[in-house]
Every structure is written in C-alpha cells, then in structure tokens.
Amino acid sequence: MYRKDGESYFIVDSHVHFWDGSPANQANRYGKGFIECFYDYHRNLSPSEWVWTLEKFGKYSEETLLNDLFTEGYVDKAIFQPTYLSDFYVNGFNTTEQDGAVSENNPGKFIVNGAFDPRDGEAGLDKLEALSERWNLKGVKLYTAEWKGDSKGWKLSDPWAYRYLEKCEQLGIRNVHVHKGPTIYPLNRDAFDVADVDDAASAFPELNFIIEHVGLPRLEDFCWIATQEPNVYGGLAVAMPFIHTRPRYFAQIIGELLYWLDENRITFASDYAIWQPKWLVESFVDFQIPEDMQSEYGTLTPEIKKKILGLNAAKLYDIEVPAEVTAGLAGAPADSGEAVGSAPKVPA
C-alpha cells in the first residue's frame, strides 16, 4: 500500500519476473544478447541510483525480489508473467515453475501465470491443462515473437492459437497477457505487431486481452483496436519508466490511453526487474499531465491513479481490496462489456 496526501493506493504490479539470464544459463549468443538488450532498457530508462550491475541484473536472489516489491516497493500483490525462451536458455529464462516455487515460499504475495505456444500442437494442450491444474491458473503470458526451431513467431489469429484460446476458456483462464510492441534482440519487431489482437479479441469475448507495453511504438494502432474491443486492456510495462526520462512523452501515452480506452482498462506494471516499483509508484502518484496538454488530455485525478495502480488488475483477478482504498470513490472499475465478433474457427 502507498499512502500520500490523505489518499491510499492499493498496488497490484501486474507484470513481474524472476529470471535467470546468467552466463551459466545462456545456451547461445542469442541468450547473451537478449539479457544485454534487457539491461540496456534498464540502464537507459532508470534513474541513476536505481541502476544495477549487469551481473546482478542477470540473476538476482529471491530475497532481493521480495525486498524490492513488498518491503520497499509498496506492492500488495504481484503477478508473475513467464517468458520461457527455451531456444536461448538452457533451463528457460523465466518459467512458470521458477515463479511458482517463489510463490509457494511466500503465500499470498503472488499470482502465478502460465504460458502456451500453439506451435506445440496437441501435446501443448495437454501441457497447458497440467500447468493450469498445478498452479490454478487465472492468466497466461504469450510471447508471439519467440523463436522455436526454424519458426520466428506466430499470430493470435493462427488456427492453432484459437485451439489454445478455446482451451483457456474451458479451463477458466480468463486473462491473456500478450507482449505486443517493443522488440528485444534478436526477436523480430513485426512478430510483436498488434495487428492480430482484434481478431482474437472479437472471437473470444469471454477472455480479457491485456496488451503489455500497449503496442509501443505502435500506440496509435493499439488504441484504434482497443476502442472497438471492450475486452482489450492496456498494460503499462515499458511505458511507465518514460515518466522519468520523457515525461511529456509519457503524458502523451497515458493521455491517448485515457481518451481511447478510459481509466478502467489500464493496468500498472513495473516489468520487474527491468524497473523498480518504488520509484515508478511514487513518480506516478506525483505526476500530472502538463498544463498545456490538459485541454486535449484532461488531468489525472487520485481516483484515476487508484484504478490504474491496482483496482483494475484487482478486478481482473478477483483480488480483495481494503475498504480504505475504495472509500469515497465514485464508482468501481467497469466491466469490459460484450465484444462483437465472429465465432472462432478452430482445428478439429
């Protein structure tokens, strides 16, 4: 919980990792290049006092994770988002099993999400079901640009992706987080394009599609899709740190999201350990749209900030919120409503 100026903010960090990008786990030059590219994001968009060494960034301890999120970072609940990258790392970069072990060591602090790759076919469907049963999954994280053998990506609109999304519906996995936007070496930018989001969102109106990184640098494409699909949300990972290095750019991003989606479909995320929630939360609560931009974008009220920092994600994951946070609010986060779309056509 973060408290300032008489307001209480319940913090749900909806995108955190516990990865191993150390040299001992790198399978090839792509694994080395991936963690170094992550580190460049961390080093260039963080305040100088929050920059780690590359060695620490490659593999940090469970104790460090807990301290940064829950002791110093004001986080009330954190959601693990796995990123396997099995072609680049010997034991995977950040798997559900790695995250789940930390969660079991610290009951009540984390939500564990799973993942799937439609290129795994029938065997992958069985694996997803087992993963769901083991970790009681309420969400998955998808990485459409991940390499697998000769393949350098897949689309949400692929027939086999439909099979997996249909399986999610059957298993009660409602929240589908998808990395869409910024690329990381050596992955291809176009494999992270947002262009396939509306197809899947229309076909599966009972699922929530949380588009991580809001499609950056394709923010306009994302906004035009999200405004027509009420089950599409914007996840602020990667967008948040621009509040430090490019505050007017951040104001433009948050202003466009509020204009096209409204404050009920935007979720806070630090993308830990790329960035730390403490300085992001403090900066966002203190932040305001610059005066000369307010005629177009309006202002950020404490109510809007409370929804973005935690209430919207709490609603998606049925997380109980203390009464002191919601007291006096004009209204709780709204339902996503019903999307209009075609029935999915899936492989037999």
pLDDT score for 333 = 60
Span of 27-31, 210-214, 289-293, 336-340 with lowest mean pLDDT: 336-340
Query: What number is the average pLDDT over the span 148-152?
Result: 96
35-44's contacts with Cβ under 8 Å and 24+ in sequence apart are 36/185, 37/184, 37/185, 38/184, 38/274, 41/182, 41/184, 41/238, 41/274, 42/273, 42/274, 42/275, 44/245
Query: Tokens 């694994």 map to which residue?
Result: 31
Cα(52)–Cα(38) distance, integer angstroms? 12
**How far, rounded to the nearest angstrom, does the alpha carbon of residue 25 sit from its chain's CA centroid?**
24
Query: Tokens 């509040």 map to which residue?
Result: 243
Cα(141)–Cα(128) distance, integer angstroms? 12
Q: What is the dihedral of CA 325, 300, 284, 17, to 10 degrees?
A: 70
Cα(67)–Cα(74) distance, integer angstroms? 10
CB within 8 Å of 256: residues ≥ 6 apart: 219, 220, 223, 297
Please determine, for residue 100, whether its predicted confidence score (pLDDT) is greater than 70. Answer: yes
pLDDT score for 337 = 52
Please determine, for residue 222, whether its predicted confidence score (pLDDT) is greater than 50. Answer: yes
Closest-CA residue to 98 (of 118, 84, 119): 84
pLDDT score for 329 = 80
pLDDT score for 340 = 43
CB within 8 Å of 229: residues ≥ 6 apart: 197, 198, 201, 202, 209, 339
Mean pLDDT of the chain: 94
pLDDT score for 327 = 84
Strand partners, 8: 3
pLDDT score for 345 = 55
Residues in the chain: 348
Query: Which tens digits make up the pLDDT trace of 225-282?
Result: 999 999 999 999 999 999 999 999 999 999 999 999 999 999 999 999 999 999 999 9
Query: Tokens 């439609």 map to which residue?
Result: 118
Helical H runs in the chain? 29-45, 54-58, 62-66, 96-105, 121-135, 159-171, 197-203, 219-226, 242-245, 247-260, 277-286, 294-297, 302-306, 312-316, 323-326
Helix (H, G, I), strand (E, B) or coil at 106: coil
Query: What number is the average pLDDT over the span 4-15?
Result: 97
How far, in Å, are 88, 188, 332 from residue 161 at the CA level? 23, 19, 33
